[in-house]
Amino acid sequence: MDVVTLGESMVLFTPETNGYMRHADKYSSGIAGAESNLAIGLSRLGHQVSWISRLGDDEFGRKVLTFIRGEGVDTSHVHFDDASPTGLYFKEKLTEEETHVYYYRKNSAASNMTVSDLNEEHISKAKYLYLTGITPALSESCYETVKHAIAIARKHQLTIVFDPNLRLKLWSEERARNILLELVSLVDIVLPGIDEGKFLFHEATPEKIAENFYNQGAKLTVVKLGAEGAYYYSAQEAGYVAGPLVKDVVDPVGAGDGFAAGLISGLLEKTSVKEAVKRGAYTGALVVKVKGDVEGLPEKERLKNFMNETNTNDVYR
């Protein structure tokens, strides 16, 4: 197994028309969740991935499980909870440029994850553990579960990748700052955006953000810069990677998860850090060209063709 991850996945509803949801009467449904997005992205790129979670013992839970399992992801350690529902998530597209998201996940099945949901032997078989800052924000038991997963990963020498994925609607600023900084000190690779850098360190430049994460304990930091690409920093090397030119942005949600999938895919295949970051930027770019969180995640051949044929955004060249 290449990667193991844990977190909440929800059923996503999107109105078929733009504008306020109060006027919508038709919706399409899909699946969304940062960690399961990552798992699907890596599976499509040819890697073996396991996703750990809890789902409600309901039709929405079965929909989530069926979809993710159908994408080739190992779901053997997903548990059904007959006391709590599967979370829901609505995406309101006011215009082509403005999207709002609304979560209905309080007391969801996934928020009740505990350390008992983790199997040490299963996790120990992976090379990488992928986590986000969303899961510890769901509940105290989820926070403890994430810390226990990290302890298992460190014991068995997995590389731990962490996307802070700041969600202030889920917890207070003080608790978010304290826990995110604590987790950063326990992992190997951190994938922040500029917003997380501003929130955690009051810094706005990629170089300063990366330096602060390094001082906090991260061995490699990759600062995601959206259309402009990314900046990577470690004790051995640092630099910018330009992103591809994308003129037809359809849906920006999920791009960061695609970036993580492309990056980890490159690291698994022993490419250079720069090449892995480039793969992340191009994967994220493909995601934003398609409606939905996972629908645009590419298979390996499509990503390869896109990287060979697409001009880059030469902001940093």
The residues carrying an active-site annotation are 257
Going by DSSP bridges, is the β-strand pair 10-15/88-93 parallel, antiparallel, or unpaired? Answer: parallel
DSSP annotation of 111: G
- The secondary structure element, H or E, covering residue 189 is strand 189-190
Look at residues 22, 8, 252 and name the one whose alpha carbon lies nearest to residue 142. 8
CA dihedral 109, 251, 200, 132 (to 10 degrees): 40
Rounded CA gap, 289 and 88, in Å?
A: 24
Q: Are 137 and 170 in contact (CB under 8 A)?
A: yes
The answer to whether residues 288 and 255 touch, using CB atoms and an 8 Å cutoff, is yes
Closest residue by Cα to residue 45 from 265, 274, 212: 265
Residue 105 contacts by C-beta under 8 Å, 6 or more apart in sequence? 8, 10, 87, 88, 89, 111, 138
